[in-house]
Structure 1
Amino acid sequence: MPATLDELTHKVEQQLNVIYENIDLPMPITELSRLLIDEMNIPNNFVEPVPYTNHWSEKDMMLITYGDSIVEPEQKPLKTLESFMDTYLNDKINSVHILPFFPYSSDDGFSVIDYSSVNESLGDWQDIEDIAGKYKLMSDLVINHCSSRSAWFQNFIKGSGVGKDYFFTADPSDDLSQVVRPRTSPLLRETETAEGTKYVWCTFSHDQVDLDFRNPHVLLSFVSIIRQYLDSGVKVFRLDAVAFLWKIVGGPSINLPYTHEVIRLLRTLIEHTEPETVIITETNIPNTQNLTYFGNANEAHCIYNFSLPPLLVNSLITGDCTYLKRWLMSMPPAQNGTCYFNFIASHDGIGLRPAEGLLSDLELNTLVNTMQNFGGRVSWRTADTGEQKAYEINIALFDALKGTIGGEDKWGLERFICAHAIMFGLEGIPGIYIHSILGTPNDYEKLKNTHHNRSINRHRWDYKLLKEQLDSDYSSHSKVLTRMLALIDIRTKQPAFHPNATQYVLHLGLQLFGFWRQSLDRKQSIFCISNVSDEKVELRLNELNLIVTDDWVELISNKNIEDTATELELMPYQTVWLTNLKNE
């Protein structure tokens, strides 16, 4: 590992040689390497990162939210968000992912106009720094594309200034048939420029124009952006849509080796600047491809567990955990220095590509139809064959779990809590969407106003109304928050719930989904077992082989297990956490 600035420079040069091996650069690799290190402001006496170090523990719990998910008159939303977290979450949740808080033109923030500014309607950099001073802050690095209204793209149109050569173009006559995309809009955007008509590559929409990392100045610009975010207190970088970063005409243009090397390079630069900083890759792709973004513990520190939401929802609406269990058994344990980022709801929806090859077509169709019956919408993509396929289900998780394939029932709240109890117990860091912790249902009014399917799960709360709901003992929102925080409080005190603690899947039949966790020091064991059905189910404790000389307790109910050979009756959607070492 590099021990001096010269050795670090040499390592960066090697990585740059891989990225730009077939590209005629406007500068020597040695110069580019020095520029990158200077842009990151890496000091001569930098701290050498320790390989395979876990920058997380069982105490880590991430809230996922927009900067304006909660608003109050006469106050900037970032201040309102800070107030909400301080009042309701401060001693339970230690991290927050604020979705893009920059000026933008579309896609609720993911079409960035200016990476260096905070959206004035949300607040300013001081507001960001205030939150970062109290909570571990995750920020998006929207690295694949930017807004067509950005200064960079306007300079591309003019043919002069920074950005004039920042964008990837192709020709309509090129073979683009293999390109993998999550959208149905045309890939190329016809754009009139000072140099004539050009066709700009747009993976997502024509307002989101793709950047061209073959130009090293694009890389330099993003390293400068990273440096600014670090200075503002960002501790976790979410690399948005990074799988599409590198393009090659004539191929699928996803998950290319150059993309992986760019991530490795950014990690090298970041960890030699701020060793505790974490990189998370957002790659909404089939599971086997997603796993490659760990590299050899030298790419992403964390990857999103995108397969978890569709598989978990499928289990809870069918009462059968077969597919969920099969997937979990196939997941390799994350080696030290890496971990999974678990979530079951997000600002987007329930992605279906990560379930491909895991759920059958029949299961997928049943899942989609059930979600539509519960008020959900479906977003589509164009497959290689030209066929329209469901890409994601857009629905609030609270509504997604209000029934089964048989229809809505009385177990919605229990099913919803069960889903989170399962996620909280799994190997990895849990991320909880703000509208899940608040039990927010589908927002049909916002959907009607925006005509964007994803708006259904992007409600904006009035803080006064929200406080009234949360301060009431009778509202569903108060009940959800109370029970969620109770689970989180228990979870964050148990060493066996460390993101890298040992995990084994249990075989308890179709209706009981279970797994065993063991702390890194091997002192604490927790058996996490959930009834995923709408029927009572008997759990035979002797099947778990509990060590009879230990004193066992069920953490959620705080009840002692007097007889390890007895049976426990699990109510529909009840979860138990059985442990031999209770931590208060």
Structure 2
Amino acid sequence: MTCGQFDSILADIYGSVPTELSEALHRLVESANAKPRDGSLWDQNDVVCITYADQIRQPGLHPLEAFRRFFLDWELDQKLRCIHLLPFCPYTSDDGFSVVDYLAVDPDSGDWDDIARLGQHFDLMFDLVANHTSVSHRWFQGFLADEEPFRNAYIDQDPTADLSAVVRPRSLPLLTPFETASGTKHVWTTFSADQVDLNYGDPATLLRMIETLVLYAQRGARIIRLDAIAFLWKKVGTSCIHLPQTHAIVRLMRAVLDAAVPGTIVLTETNVPHKENISYFGDGTDEAHMVYQFSLPPLLLDAIHSGDTTVLRDWMKSLRPPTDQTTFFNFTASHDGVGVRPLEGLVPRERLDHLVDVVRRHGGRVNMRSQSDGTESPYELNITYLDAVADRATIEPAEHSRRFLATQAIMLSMQGVPAVYFHSLFGSPNDVAAADESGQNRRINRHKYERDELENALADAAGLQRRVFDGYCRLLELRRQQPAFHPIAGQQVLDLPGDGLLGFVRGASDQRIVVLANLSDSAREVSCDVIPVAADHDLLADQSLAQGDAISLRPFQVRWLVTAS
């Protein structure tokens, strides 16, 4: 990256080049002593586990160390390559996303040495909480005191301005009044009153965040997730989402990482409709390496509960990473709920309403957001994915686990890098008590375990949690052995009937795998005539198939079909 290329992006952000920022960025890159990471960006061994740093506790150990020991004892280093540590910094709210100090590890979770030890066994993924800090962050305290260099680090907005066009992710006030050394200021708070939005119109603030980004990569983050990145730039009279300056900042972050810590993967988190989401690929070389596949979780649930796989099938046909340097980040569950904005334009409103009803019947909750006309609409389903798939009160563990694992087998075999949420891997139930006690719907899917508690749950071989865990581990073991599941290997979606069937072919010349799924509660058959590969062995069932016969699928069965060697 040349000086001119940095400066070109800075001009796109600010209209001119802030000299001090330009010079500081180049000093930052020069001092980084860039050394490319070994190997390619990704391969079929790449599976990410999403977890909190304090997910597992054990007496006498930091939670990060307890997590490392548990995962090694259960040989999960043989099944997962990368650990996504959700924000592990000191924080004041939102389970880590109200950061008090970007450069510290929350002592309740551990320290940097604990993270380094975890990184000896797994690749690591960190969050850059890019849009906002906690009100307790020293930068905001400096802003309140009207002190340099933080006087312009946050956004003091005239409350009489017309902000009706602003896209809101939550039903909370957009501006929050604070008393400062120079009087009352109404500060932009997109997500909550404890999460104050940074002012990227201030070059010094942008520099501080890019310095943090580079430090994370140097501390071992192979992947960096840019949290809530779509909301970064504010301009009165606009939607304040996906603005050109925001895309330019992502380009700058990518460019600096490419120069300072080559091989670091940039992942953007934008829980929005699909077309908006994939815009963060840029031209395929200059913004995100990966974008979240946000439409996948609700589309899989819609297919199961509507009995119609047409929408899921047709959406999959549209998926095209722009270059071989980009791919999708596939997932079904995370620390947040299942976002439903990514269904916009894909399913009719009555299908969404049905999904909301299903989640409530299964013990889940629904978060709402304010719209510009003053009404509210669902934006997030709060429930474990296991309980979203089926109602545990009305279904046996064997059937429940089979339905759930069918969704995971599809996700794991799609083009892209798969990510598995901790509670999906271990089959956790809804934590209704945590949601009720905290008043936060998202806590229903964020249970923290004592090691003994988790191991006791896994001790019941016939129980739902152990069935899910064992089945998931087998899927992971098989997946990483298949070259056809390389993140950028081809994907051809088959024209199967949309009454519960889904099929696609992955791979290239060295191996091709036919993925067939039945997401209905009735048996189905697929004619061999519609399958463009002479597959005769099912990896998942570990059985041979007779050539020329129709392929049978039990309810909620997935097959991975290959040509036996």
Counterpart amino acid of 1:573?
F
Aligned to 1:248: 235
Counterpart amino acid of 1:266?
M
**Structure 1 residue 384: Cα displacement:** 1.9
User: Is 1:386 matched with 2:374?
Assistant: yes
User: Is 1:557 matched with 2:541?
Assistant: yes
- How far, CA to CA, are the matches of 1:545 and 1:240 in structure 2? 40
Alignment of 1:321-332 (within 5 A): 321-332=309-320
Aligned to 2:420: 432
Of 207, 210, 215 in structure 2, the residue corresponding to residue 223 of structure 1 is 210
Counterpart amino acid of 2:338?
I
**Structure 1 residue 452: Cα displacement:** 0.2
Match of 2:379, SS? strand
Counterpart amino acid of 1:192?
E
Counterpart amino acid of 1:210?
D
Aligned to 2:277: 290
- How far, CA to CA, are the matches of 2:415 and 2:179 in structure 1? 50
Match of 1:569, SS? strand
Match of 1:284, SS? coil
Alignment of 1:469-480 (within 5 A): 469-480=457-468
- How far, CA to CA, are the matches of 1:361 and 1:562 in structure 2? 43
- How far, CA to CA, are the matches of 1:49 and 1:31 in structure 2? 30
Q: Which moved more, 1:294-303 or 1:124-133?
A: 124-133
Relative distance call for 1:355 and 1:408 in structure 2 (3 A) is farther
Aligned to 1:447: 435
Counterpart amino acid of 2:256?
L
Of 77, 80, 88 in structure 2, the residue corresponding to residue 90 of structure 1 is 77
Match of 2:78, SS? coil
User: Is 1:486 matched with 2:474?
Assistant: yes
- How far, CA to CA, are the matches of 2:220 and 2:119 in structure 1? 5
User: Is 1:574 matched with 2:562?
Assistant: no
Counterpart amino acid of 2:4?
H
- How far, CA to CA, are the matches of 1:224 and 1:209 in structure 2? 20
- How far, CA to CA, are the matches of 2:52 and 2:30 in structure 1? 30
Q: Which moved more, 1:102-111 or 1:331-340?
A: 331-340
Alignment of 1:306-345 (within 5 A): 306-345=294-333
Of 491, 496, 516 in structure 1, the residue corresponding to residue 505 of structure 2 is 516
User: Is 1:540 matched with 2:527?
Assistant: yes
Q: Aligned residue pairs: how many? A: 560
Of 9, 21, 31 in structure 2, the residue corresponding to residue 32 of structure 1 is 21
**Structure 1 residue 47: Cα displacement:** 5.9
- How far, CA to CA, are the matches of 1:394 and 1:16 in structure 2? 39
**Structure 1 residue 101: Cα displacement:** 0.2
Counterpart amino acid of 1:12?
F
- How far, CA to CA, are the matches of 2:232 and 2:482 in structure 1? 39
1:307-349 CA-to-partner distances (Å, cap 9, x unmatched) read: 0000001111222211111211122244210000000011110
Aligned to 1:169: 156
Alignment of 1:418-429 (within 5 A): 418-429=406-417
Aligned partners of 1:424 and 1:491 also within 8 Å: yes
Of 45, 65, 69 in structure 2, the residue corresponding to residue 79 of structure 1 is 65
- How far, CA to CA, are the matches of 1:531 and 1:573 in structure 2? 5
Aligned partners of 2:32 and 2:261 also within 8 Å: no
TM-score, with structure 1 as normaliser? 0.93
Match of 1:169, SS? coil
Aligned partners of 1:39 and 1:220 also within 8 Å: no
User: Is 1:377 matched with 2:371?
Assistant: no
Aligned partners of 2:214 and 2:261 also within 8 Å: no
**Structure 1 residue 561: Cα displacement:** 2.0
- How far, CA to CA, are the matches of 1:340 and 1:36 in structure 2? 29
**Structure 1 residue 482: Cα displacement:** 0.9
Aligned to 1:65: 51
- How far, CA to CA, are the matches of 2:476 and 2:47 in structure 1? 8
Counterpart amino acid of 1:526?
I
Aligned partners of 1:317 and 1:403 also within 8 Å: no
**Structure 1 residue 448: Cα displacement:** 1.7
- How far, CA to CA, are the matches of 1:536 and 1:576 in structure 2? 13
User: Is 1:120 matched with 2:107?
Assistant: yes
Match of 1:272, SS? helix
Relative distance call for 1:69 and 1:43 in structure 2 (3 A) is closer
Aligned to 1:17: 11
- How far, CA to CA, are the matches of 1:578 and 1:335 in structure 2? 27
Root-mean-square deviation (CA), in Å? 1.8
Relative distance call for 1:375 and 1:31 in structure 2 (3 A) is same
- How far, CA to CA, are the matches of 1:581 and 1:193 in structure 2? 71
- How far, CA to CA, are the matches of 1:455 and 1:127 in structure 2? 25
1:164-211 CA-to-partner distances (Å, cap 9, x unmatched) read: 320012111101000001111111101111111111001100100000
Match of 1:270, SS? helix
Of 41, 48, 55 in structure 1, the residue corresponding to residue 41 of structure 2 is 55
**Structure 1 residue 18: Cα displacement:** 1.2
1:101-160 CA-to-partner distances (Å, cap 9, x unmatched) read: 000011000000110100000000111111122211010000100001111111111111
**Structure 1 residue 508: Cα displacement:** 1.6
Unpaired runs of at least 5, structure 2: none
Alignment of 1:81-160 (within 5 A): 81-88=67-74, 89-160=76-147
Aligned to 1:362: 350
**Structure 1 residue 440: Cα displacement:** 0.2
Identity across matched positions, percent: 39
Aligned partners of 1:242 and 1:259 also within 8 Å: yes
Aligned partners of 1:170 and 1:249 also within 8 Å: no
Match of 2:260, SS? coil
- How far, CA to CA, are the matches of 2:182 and 2:95 in structure 1? 32
1:505-546 CA-to-partner distances (Å, cap 9, x unmatched) read: 112212211111123xx1211110110001111222232143
- How far, CA to CA, are the matches of 2:297 and 2:390 in structure 1? 15
Aligned partners of 1:535 and 1:572 also within 8 Å: yes
Of 429, 442, 456 in structure 2, the residue corresponding to residue 468 of structure 1 is 456
